[in-house]
Amino acid sequence: MKNITILGATGSIGDSALSVIALHPDKFNVFALSANTNWQKMQILCEKFQPKFVVMMDESAIEELSKVTSNNIEILHGAEALDTIASHNEVDFVMAAIVGSAGMSSSLAAAKAGKRIMLANKESLVLAGNLFMQAVHDNNAELIPVDSEHSAIFQCLQSGKSGLSKIQLTASGGPFLHTPIEQLKTITPDEACAHPNWSMGRKISVDSATMMNKGLEVIEAHYLFNLPAEKISVVIHPQSIIHSSTYYEDGSTLSQLGNPDMRTVIAYALSYPSRMASGVAPLDLAGNSPLEFYAPDLNKFVCLRLAFDALKQGGNAMGTLNAANEVAVEHFLNHKIGFLEIANIVERTLDTVQNTSAASLEAIIANDKTARKTAQRIINA
C-alpha cells in the first residue's frame, strides 16, 4: 500500500488522480490533500478519501472546512504545511499538481525528501530546473512526468537514449489554430478556455491557446531529459492522439499514442514500471482518422518563440517568462487585457528584466518578484 499526498487536489489533475486512485483501493491510500480556497470541494474529498492531513492556503477556507469535517483530519495552513505533507516520512508518492509557481517549494520539498514525485507542476522545472534536478539526484527521488507529452517521451525512452537525435513534443494548437491573427484581438477568456481536446484548469487552458504551454513544456523537457533546445522540436497535431515522439539516427521514430485523457498518464506515474487500469477507453485509430500534422507558426504563436529564446538564454530568463505570463494570464482571465497582449507583456518583461543566475532558490524567488512587478508596471502603463 502506497501513501499518497496530492498537492492541488481540487484541480483538474487532482480530479483525474483521485479517480484513478479510487479504482485501486488495494494499492493506494490518500494520506494528505491540499487546495487553495475551494473548501466545499475539499469537504467532499475528505468525506470520500479520509486523508490524515489537509492543507488549505486560504485562512477563511480553513475556518469553513473545520466546521464540517471530522476531527480525525488535521487541517493545516500555508506554504510550510505544503512542504510538510510533501516530505512527511509516512508518504511514498507525491502528486505535484498545484498550478503556477506556488507549487515550486512543495515539489522541491518532495524531491529533497526522496519521494516519488509525479510532476504535473511544470513551473517547478521552468523556474528552478537545475536545483530541482540536483535535489532529485542527490536524494534518490523518483521523478515521473505527469504531462502527456513528457510521459510519452519518458515511455519511449525506457530502453535508454542510444542513437537519439531529437525529441518532438506534439501540440494540439489550441482552439485558435486556424483563427487568423486579426480575429484574436477580441477573444474572450471563455473562448480561450474552450480547449478542443483536453479538459484542464483555466490558466493552462489559456496557455494552450497562446501556445505558452508548449513553450513551458519545451523547457520542462530540457530538464527532464537533459537535452539542449536544438534537440527539442514541436509539431502541431490537432487530434492529440500521438502524445510525443523520439527520433533516432537510424531513421526510426517512436511515439506514444492514446486518447487525450490525463488518467492514462497518471496511472502510469502511479504504477511505473508496471501498468494498471486507468478507466480510459482503448484507442480507436480508425475512428480518429485522419491524423494531421503542421509546423507551428511562430509569428502567430509568439509565446512559443519566446520560450525557446528564454531557454537558450538560460539563467532566470525562464523564470521571468513564467512570472510575466502568470501575471498577464491572470489579467486576461479578469478581462483587464486582451488575448494578444499576453505575448506582448511577456516579451516586454523579458526585454526589461536583466537576466541573472538561477543558482540559488533566493535568487530565483527574487527574480520572480522583480519580473511580476515589471509585468504589472507594463500593464499599468
- Which residues are at the interface with ligand NAP (CB under 6 A)? 8-14, 35-38, 57, 97-99, 102, 120-123, 147, 198, 200-201, 203-204, 262
* Cβ nearer to ligand NAP, comparing 248 with 257: 257
Instruction: State the nearest-atom distance from the C-beta of 185 to ligand NAP, in Å.
Output: 26
**Phi, psi dihedral angles at 337 (to 5 degrees):** -135, 165
Q: What nine digits make up the cell of 54? A: 489537509
Selection from 341, 360, 351, 359 nearest residue 320 by Cα: 351
* Cβ nearer to ligand NAP, comparing 123 with 368: 123
Instruction: State the nearest-atom distance from the C-beta of 154 to ligand NAP, in Å.
Output: 13
Instruction: State the nearest-atom distance from the C-beta of 163 to ligand NAP, in Å.
Output: 29
Q: What nine digits make up the cell of 332? A: 486576461
Instruction: State the nearest-atom distance from the C-beta of 106 to ligand NAP, in Å.
Output: 8
* Cβ nearer to ligand NAP, comparing 37 with 355: 37
Instruction: State the nearest-atom distance from the C-beta of 249 to ligand NAP, in Å.
Output: 30
* Cβ nearer to ligand NAP, comparing 193 with 358: 193
Q: How many residues does the chain have?
A: 381
Q: In angstroms, how far is CA 125 from the centroid of its own chain?
A: 9
Instruction: State the nearest-atom distance from the C-beta of 354 to ligand NAP, in Å.
Output: 27
* Cβ nearer to ligand NAP, comparing 212 with 232: 212
Instruction: State the nearest-atom distance from the C-beta of 178 to ligand NAP, in Å.
Output: 22
Which uninterrupted H or E stretch holds 184?
Answer: helix 181-184
Instruction: State the nearest-atom distance from the C-beta of 147 to ligand NAP, in Å.
Output: 4
What's the per-residue H, E or C state across 212-269?
Answer: HHHHHHHHHHHHHHCCCHHHEEEEECCCCCEEEEEEECCCCEEEEECCCCHHHHHHHH
The answer to whether the beta carbons of residues 317 and 347 sit under 8 Å apart is no
**CA–CA gap between residue 309 and residue 215 (Å, rounded):** 10
Q: What nine digits make up the cell of 369? A: 518578484
Instruction: State the nearest-atom distance from the C-beta of 298 to ligand NAP, in Å.
Output: 21
Contacting residues for 313 by C-beta, under 8 A, at least 6 apart: 355
* Cβ nearer to ligand NAP, comparing 164 with 310: 310
**CA–CA gap between residue 247 and residue 10 (Å, rounded):** 37
**CA–CA gap between residue 77 and residue 245 (Å, rounded):** 41
Selection from 373, 343, 30, 19 nearest residue 212 by Cα: 343
DSSP character at residue 287: G
* Cβ nearer to ligand NAP, comparing 23 with 102: 102
Instruction: State the nearest-atom distance from the C-beta of 352 to ligand NAP, in Å.
Output: 25
* Cβ nearer to ligand NAP, comparing 8 with 51: 8
What is residue 15's three-state secondary structure? Answer: helix
* Cβ nearer to ligand NAP, comparing 57 with 133: 57
| Minimal CB distance residue for ligand NAP | 11
* Cβ nearer to ligand NAP, comparing 199 with 360: 199
Helix 104-112 / helix 79-87 crossing angle, nearest 10 deg? 30
Cβ-count burial 193-220 (b if 16+ within 10 Å, e if not): bebebbebbbbbbbbbbbbbbbbbbbbb
